[in-house]
Structure formats: structure tokens, C-alpha cells
Amino acid sequence: MTVIIHAHLLNIAKPGCFAKKAKEMFAANNLPDMEFPNDVPSSEIFNLIYKPAETTSQAHATQSQATSDIPPLPTRK
């Protein structure tokens, strides 16, 4: 699994090298060779797996948008 993830990371940096890098790493680790296409969508795969957490400013903006239709509470006199 580590070989596949590493090959995907290398493929994001240098598109089209996935199959070659995977084959090299399988051989270096005495693992059986597997056939892969070179045009795998590595960045799209990682975008599906990893969704970054909201930053504080994004969360605040989302909260402001969600509450903008709510009128303010009346003030006491």
C-alpha cells in the first residue's frame, strides 16, 4: 500500500510517472510486479480521500452567512 501511495505522490509532482515509479519500488522491495497505466488521476484520488478542515476564517464566514437572516434579539431598557 505504501508503494502505491508513494507512486501517487510522485505522479502528482511529475504526471505520467506512476507506473514506472511503482514498478521500481515494487522491485526494490522484492514485491511482485503489477501493471498500472501511467495516466492515473493521482490528484483527483487524493482530493476524494483528503478533505482539509475549515480554517477559522472559513468557519466564521459560514456561520455569518447561516445567521445573517436571523434578526437580532431586542435589547432591554
Q: Which pLDDT does position 67 carry in this prediction?
A: 56
Taking only the tens place, the pLDDT of each residue in 8-22 is 888 888 888 889 999
- Is 28's pLDDT higher than 80? yes
Give the up-direction half-sphere exposure of residue 46: CA atoms within 13 A in the CB hemisphere. Answer: 14
pTM higher than the cut 0.85? no
What's the CA gap between 27 and 75, in Å, rounded? 73
Give me the residue spans of the domains in the chain.
1-32
Nearest to 43 by CA among 11, 16, 69, 18: 11
